[in-house]
Structure 1
């Protein structure tokens, strides 16, 4: 008969529980894995399955004592580790949402909104188009596997006895500037096209005051806006490769801090 002590059981549980907590913090904010449209049971099973798969590559893990306050503090500690890396991926996906919102405002379609199923917030339709395009590219190019591979490396770069990565948090905060500048790069073809059309209609209003600019301007703005949207969508593919490479570099840099 196999005799197991309480110490042995807590040690074995630690090999699954602590990676599970870190994976849970990561999947909470990462798009696709943490989408609210995925059933709760699946969202709980995903980090559990990955933690069991990674249990064999982890060298040393503290034992799990569910009756100690230190265990709850350490759980929050590990949860935040995964949350920090997940924020890098979330900022990457928000680039396309912000770019789509900028295009929508220039087209005059800021009032055309729909509910985002993942967050419940109202977002412009063009932002959803950009977001869905980015998600399809992410999955078709296996970029989600690259993200998971980098996250698994966190158990090597950030072992369970490592100090808290405050420098990593600072770097994630500086990435907001990267997010907005990258969104501007995506939206700038449409923004320039719409700016030129507005300048043209302004000249027409001065040259031919009898011409009803409001009657002519809105449908022409919509037509040019659709053309500008096509330009932006066609350019997303090339920009996407560069942004995925930058996101990978940001994740590796955060792990190295």
Structure 2
């Protein structure tokens, strides 16, 4: 008589939860991380890549909680995993947005605030100069091995904060405070252009005051535009170590986001 294979509902629930909860954290990262969240990447590829990563790392994860997936506690764990992944990606999103803000500030000071470009990734009009700098730093992110580091941070988070652990609410406060770098980094990266154009505008103001017949619109706009591009060209060699520092701090913060505070 052949043996009968019996699979209970509890076993099916445990098997599904074995993949669903890690998949939720990985997919949450893909929703906010600058490269994986790009609309140029098809959604089916994102879902398939997230599923492949889940299958690879699931055997290495700590034991999962014995909680039914279709229950209030199971849904709460699912939302928690989605939030954790989204927070990790949001750290890198702030870094990229800070560089885009630097390009926006530089373009406005140069007189290119009217030069807008439709960004399909954001479905909105963005300054053309900010979009160019954003593409530049995204390529640097790929050159630095950013996606690999982000995935390693995500995998390490399962060891620091296993599935089912109490959510560290202090991480939300730390992430909110981290958002202030959006303005400080944006101003810091655009400071050379802003400082040079400030001196240029002061010189134009003095010339206009000394010679009222001086046509500021015929001479001032081309001058500020030229000086702005010259300063961008001169600051490009200094932009590489600055972006490297920015990414390094972002990766370090993403790793330390789930660690307990030091006494």
TM-score (norm 1): 0.94
Note the C-alpha offset of 1:66: 4.9
Q: Distance in 2 between matches of 1:112 and 1:214?
A: 17
Question: Is 1:177 matched with 2:180?
Answer: yes
User: Any unmatched runs of 5+ in structure 1?
Assistant: none
Segment of structure 1 superposing worse, 101-110 or 34-43: 34-43
Partner of 2:217: 214
Residues 42-121 of structure 1: matches in 2 within 5 Å? 42-62=45-65, 65-121=68-124
1:18 to 1:184, Cα distance in 2 relative to 1, 3 A: same
Q: Distance in 1 between matches of 2:238 and 2:67?
A: 50
Note the C-alpha offset of 1:70: 3.0
The alignment partner of 1:118 has SS state of: coil
Q: Distance in 2 between matches of 1:64 and 1:30?
A: 29
Note the C-alpha offset of 1:204: 1.0
Question: Is 1:256 matched with 2:259?
Answer: yes
Partner of 1:243: 246
User: Any unmatched runs of 5+ in structure 2?
Assistant: none
The alignment partner of 1:159 has SS state of: coil
Q: Distance in 2 between matches of 1:251 and 1:146?
A: 10
Q: Distance in 1 between matches of 2:183 and 2:238?
A: 17
Partner of 1:3: 6
Segment of structure 1 superposing worse, 100-109 or 210-219: 210-219
Note the C-alpha offset of 1:72: 2.2
CA shift digits 1:218-257 (9 cap, x unpaired): 1111111211222343322110111111112211221213
Tell whether the 8 Å contact from 1:14 to 1:63 is kept in structure 2 after alignment: no
Segment of structure 1 superposing worse, 206-215 or 174-183: 206-215
Equivalent of 1:156, from 153, 156, 159? Answer: 159
TM-score (norm 2): 0.92
Q: Distance in 2 between matches of 1:154 and 1:85?
A: 9
Q: Distance in 2 between matches of 1:66 and 1:244?
A: 37
Note the C-alpha offset of 1:12: 2.0
Q: Distance in 1 between matches of 2:27 and 2:74?
A: 16
CA shift digits 1:82-135 (9 cap, x unpaired): 111111111111111111111011111111111111111211011111111110
The alignment partner of 1:153 has SS state of: helix
Cα RMSD (Å): 1.6
Note the C-alpha offset of 1:65: 4.1
CA shift digits 1:19-70 (9 cap, x unpaired): 0001111110101101112111112112111111111210211357454333
Partner of 1:30: 33
Question: Is 1:205 matched with 2:205?
Answer: no
Note the C-alpha offset of 1:2: 4.0
Tell whether the 8 Å contact from 1:15 to 1:55 is kept in structure 2 after alignment: yes
The alignment partner of 2:180 has SS state of: helix
CA shift digits 1:149-180 (9 cap, x unpaired): 11111100111121112111101100121221
Tell whether the 8 Å contact from 2:17 to 2:69 is kept in structure 1 after alignment: no
